[in-house]
Each structure stands twice: as C-alpha cells, then as structure tokens.
Amino acid sequence: MPRFPRRRREFQPRGSPAVLDDEGWAVNRRATTTTTTTTSAATSPTARGAAPPEDLELREGGRRLAPVAGTRAADLDVRRALLWWRGYEHQLRTRGEELHGIGPALEEAAAAVDEVLRRSTPRTTGDVFAAVAEGFAGVPGVPALMAPWFAEFARSGGGDVTTHDLADAAEAGLEAVQRAGGPAPGAGSLVDAMAPAAEALVGADVAEVPVVAALNAAYRAAANGTRRTAVRGVVDPGALAVTWFFERGTVV
C-alpha cells in the first residue's frame, strides 16, 4: 500500500530540464575557488529554452556517459542498482568540496556503504539500497537523515524495481525523513529536492513510463527544487546531494 494517497493525473514535469555542463551537472558550476559553488545565469531555469529529455547528457571528465545498453524499457535489477550506487559514490568522493561542509561526512558514509557491500554481496536491488541505508545511518548529520530515505528504496526492492516501486519508495522516504527531523519543503534543505522528485515519480507511474524515463523526470524535478534553495548563489548541499543521486540513476 502506498504511504500517501495517489492522485490520478497526467504526467507533466514542472519547469525546464537541466542543461548539463562538461563537469556533469548544470544546476551549479564549479567556481574558481574550492570553497564556493555558484549558480550560473546560463543554467538558470529561465536562461535557456527547455531542451527535450533526450537532450539531457551526463558528462564525467569531459566524456559523455551513455545509459547501460538495453535498459531503456527495463525494470531496475541488482546489477543496475549497483551501477547506480557506484556512480553516486564517485560523485560524492570526487566532488565533495561542492557540498559545503557536508562533503566529508558523505564521503565517510560512502566508505561505510562499501564496507557493508564487501561483507555481503547484494542479491536484489533492495540489498543494495539496504547497504546504502546502513552505511549512511552510522554517520551523524545529513547522511543519517538520508538513511531512512534510502531504507524505503530498500523496502521497494525485493525483486526488479519498477517505476511504481520507485514512486512508492520516494513518497515513503520523504515522509520518513520528515519524521526523523527533516524540515518541511521550502525551508532550503534536502527535502526541497526529495519532494519534487517524489512528485515526478508519481506522475511517471501514472503515465506508465519505464524506469529510466522516470528517473530523468525525478532528476529534472530535484534539480529545479535545488535551484530554488539558492541563497546568494549557493544552493543547499543536502539538496545537491539528493539531486546527484537521481542524476546517476539516469544512466543505469
């Protein structure tokens, strides 16, 4: 049973999709210092016309990352869930300085997840997200607050994960984060990326689109939510971390 009432509606993502730069994400660009991340006028929601979803590209080291072959219409299996985690882990480990104070904690959480995965080989998608939840739970601060969110993705993953499963997990995860002390939407926090992403996944479920397309919608929604957390050009790092998670899901 879903944790929230499901609204029957047509799927229509809000706002324009993100335009990605050669560093991999266009909500923020890397600034000239290692301590400040600023938003760019060229990447603001109103600066460019909306690109169609197929124009979204994820780049790493100047190289385009293409989705795993043959997965466009497939549900999410354990192999792809692991690829998703490994990509997200890479973001956390290599771009932590953009996370303004929470980068070291998220890197510590990533290392803890790796230790869990070394102890026990995951057999389902749920096992992968359970390892992520366990690793994050042991690190105080934002990682511990994200742990119940990942735990809901773990509960959705007894077998191959569908768009419906992701929608239920994102909704239940948002509720779990708020029960654990997360603020309401609009406060400029990680919730401002989680909430629109959950809404986008519900819309994708209603429209019966496949997982990869649903994750693209969630990524765009999270990116737009993260933009709205900006204060003097700096977005909330927790919201940025959530958006990176969905971003890496777009290429699995």
By percentage, how much of the chain surpasses pLDDT 90? 67
By percentage, how much of the chain surpasses pLDDT 70? 71
* Residues whose CB falls within 8 Å of the CB of residue 214, separated by 6 or more in sequence, listed in order: 163, 166, 167, 200, 201, 204, 205
* CB-based contact 195:177 (threshold 8 Å): no
- Structure confidence by residue, pLDDT tens digits, 10-42: 333 333 333 333 233 333 332 222 222 333 332
Distances (CA, A) of 220 to 92, 138, 213: 19, 30, 11
Closest CA to 242 of 157, 94, 142: 142
Give the global pTM.
0.74
pLDDT for 191 beyond 90? yes
CA separation for the pair 224, 227 (Å, rounded): 5
Q: Residue 9: its pLDDT value, please?
A: 34
106 phi, psi to nearest 5 deg: -70, -35
Confidence of residue 252 (pLDDT cuts 50, 70, 90): confident
CA separation for the pair 172, 198 (Å, rounded): 9
CA separation for the pair 200, 142 (Å, rounded): 23
* CB-based contact 145:182 (threshold 8 Å): yes
- Structure confidence by residue, pLDDT tens digits, 194-237: 999 999 999 999 999 999 999 999 999 999 999 999 999 999 99
Token pair of 209, please?
Answer: 């689109």
State the average pLDDT over residues 150-158: 93
Q: Residue 21: its pLDDT value, please?
A: 31
Q: Residue 72: its pLDDT value, please?
A: 53
* CB-based contact 199:221 (threshold 8 Å): yes
- Structure confidence by residue, pLDDT tens digits, 102-134: 999 999 999 999 999 999 999 999 999 999 999
